[in-house]
Amino acid sequence: MKSLELKKVTLGSADEITYGKIVADVLNTPPQGGFDAQQMRLRLKILDKLEKADGVLLLEDTEAKELQSATKIMKWIRLHSDIMQFVDDVEAMQEA
């Protein structure tokens, strides 16, 4: 099981958002060609866990790999160090 702290970041604006919002955006962004049923099922499971998370998102290894894969291929519309920190934190998720 892997864990991701749902940190608060600003992305350069006055409003704070959590990693949870970024995770949801990443998972809801379809890969090129769209979602297959297996990806959809897995991503919905992660989103359910995200809804219930209290400061830390706990994921099974296959769920963590899906989030890491989705994060790796994500195309960002903003250039900001908070995004790079998010990408690094997702890649380096620790055993819970």
Confidence check: pLDDT of 5 > 90: yes
Helix 19-28 crosses helix 61-73 at what angle (to 10 degrees)? 80
Model confidence, pTM: 0.93
Give the number of other CB atoms < 10 A from CB of residue 18: 16
pLDDT tens digits, 52-84: 999 999 999 999 999 999 999 999 988 999 999
Number of domains in the chain: 1
Structural domain span for residue 87: 2-95
Confidence check: pLDDT of 11 > 90: no
